[in-house]
A and B are shown apart, each in its own frame.
Chain A
Amino acid sequence: MLVRVGMVQMRPVLGDVAGNVRLHVEWVERAAEAGCGLVVFPELSLTGYGLKDLAYDCARTLEDEEIRPLLEASRRVDVVFGMVELSRDYTVYNSAVYASGGAVVHLHRKVYVPTYGMFEENRHFGRGKQIRAFDTAWGRVGIMVCEDAWHPSVPYVLSQDGATVLICPSASPARPVRGDRPGSQEIWHRAVRMYAQLFGAYVLFVNRVGVEDGVLFYGASALVDPFGEVIASAPMFDETLVVAELDGEVLRRSRSLTPLAREEQLDVTFSELSRIMAQRYGGRWIPGAHR
């Protein structure tokens, strides 16, 4: 076993950072009692999702005293949580933090901040500019926050950067209600199962529940193994902690049977993307400069 994970399908209180920190610490304790080495919270778990102008009021630096108790809790169990991050240059980001041993190990700023339909994230949040895997005591991990996963380039890059576990904290609203399950849930489960199989990775889809301004978040969090099978899942709409284990042996078998990550021709992808970038931006293209 690599690690026992606790997926916290919770209902954050909108705009109440201190209250949500207390809730987080309680959930972390429950997960620790269940023997977890990692506990994962949904997107923006410290603030709630539909913030509008509250985004600025809820923004905290990584060093803020208010979130200190949660970092302290990561001495017991590794924690992934979501927050509105106030950066050193005073930009606010929709960020996910991996904390361990009382410190921030990795920060992922959501790259794709949706601003269409019911979403208005880019009105408030800056766009993250890094998609990077990172090492933990138990394995190499990549984080993608909600909409990030609607762009296959994100799990692709994380996978090529060596991630065998993809963590996807989400705040996915339930709609439409044509079938027995919300349409958004059907699409999400299809996507994470497909990613797990194509990238030969565990995928943790950790979605929140609760209602904000009439919008319901459906939960239905799921852990998918690298064969694309859902090995643990939560019910719709209710708060719950789902505990399951990630197994290196399952990763080994999956990657032996179908070594897609090994076979990936990164050089071909890179040269073709370079060509497309050069065509799109002409001679003006400088890697990393086009934001």
Chain B
Amino acid sequence: MRIADRPTEELLRISAPLAVDMMTRFLREEVAKAGFSRVVFGLSGGIDSAVAAYLAARAFPRDRILAVMMPYRTSSPASLADARSVAEDLGIPFEVVDITPMIDAFFAGEPGASALRRGNKMARERMSILYDRSAREGALVIGTSNKTELLLGYGTQFGDLASAVNPIGDLYKTQVRQVARYLGVPRPILDKPPSADLWQDQTDEKELGFTYEDVDRLLYFMIDERYSRDALIRGGFDAAFVDAVARRVRINQYKRRPPVICKLSSRTIGVDFRYPRDWGV
């Protein structure tokens, strides 16, 4: 069987119990080391933040967790209902902050602002609220970006990509689904098509132009297994698809890195001043 025909589910299968155990220990230890005992995160009603919520509930006492739902007026009511079902199922405190007044006030003078600008602004508004709650609650912000999004750059820099610790950033979207099933994430969240929910009927797969099944299979061979372009194409992947995904991964590298600093000294932050993140905790 060609590599491109191998079922993604089997290819990317992980041990959900082991992964969950590790992510739970990771959260507990990294948060405690940073001097925090509370966590806060955005709960959208999607599968990624639902998984983060279930992990947080395993890692911390319920009263140390705050989930924040931040709908905009065009957000699907089902999203909010799904988010609420997660918080209620877990018995964790939650808060709803409607971002409509902030977003609409900002764009009041600019009716022609593009969907991209509006979407980015919403993502950054939500980030800003989470970091305010972080300060208010003395809680660390948990990230909910998965490996597929991070590699494809399918997220807003300093928006939904911002966080202090991210338990799921090394799981592809299809692996997040495996973990979600194991954690008991409610059925409607598992079954619905993933969406940033920035406008009506938006879905990730429509916007990206390919399915998570397909792109995760390709990314797995391209990134994890270091297959060359030629080997991928020989293995049955469409050349245009390989090139488009490789390009996305490449051009979005900046979103995964801190800003570039002009090197002037003999010891430059990030270049030859290199300490572990955990140095400071």
Contacts and interface: CB of A to CB of B under 8 A. Distances in A.
B275 A214 contact: no
A50 B14 contact: no
A211 B277 contact: no
B279 A15 contact: yes
Given A50-B276, A213-B277, A177 B18 contact: yes
Interface string A175-197: 01111111000000000000000
Interface stretch (A51-59, A90-98, A101-109, A126-134): A51-59
A182 B17 CA distance: 11
A211 B25 contact: yes
Nearest to A180: B15
B192 interface: no
B15 A179 contact: yes
Interface string B263-281: 0000000000111111100
Interface size class of A (residues with CB under 8 A): 20 to 34
Contacts of B279: 14-15, 52, 54
A237 interface: yes
A247 to B, nearest CB: 34
Interface of chain A: mostly helix, strand, loop or mixed: loop
Question: For A178, A180, A210, which residue has the most chain B Cβ atoms within 10 angstroms?
Answer: A178
A211 B33 CA distance: 10
Interface string A234-276: 0001000000000000000000000000000000000000000
Contact of A177 (B19, B275, B277, B278): B19
A18 to B, nearest CB: 16
B275 A54 contact: yes
Interface size class of B (residues with CB under 8 A): 20 to 34
B52 to A, nearest CB: 15
A180 B29 CA distance: 22
A182 B170 CA distance: 15
A29 interface: no
Interface in B149-201: 165
A119 to B, nearest CB: 14
Nearest to B281: A14
A161 interface: no
B227 interface: no
B30 A178 contact: no
Given A54-B279, A214-B30, 16 more contacts: A15-B276, A51-B276, A52-B279, A53-B273, A176-B14, A177-B14, A177-B18, A178-B13, A180-B15, A211-B30, A212-B276, A212-B278, A213-B278, A214-B26, A214-B277, A216-B25
21 contacts: A14-B279, A50-B276, A50-B278, A51-B276, A52-B276, A52-B279, A54-B279, A177-B18, A178-B14, A178-B15, A179-B18, A180-B17, A210-B29, A211-B29, A211-B30, A211-B33, A213-B276, A216-B25, A237-B21, A237-B22, A237-B25
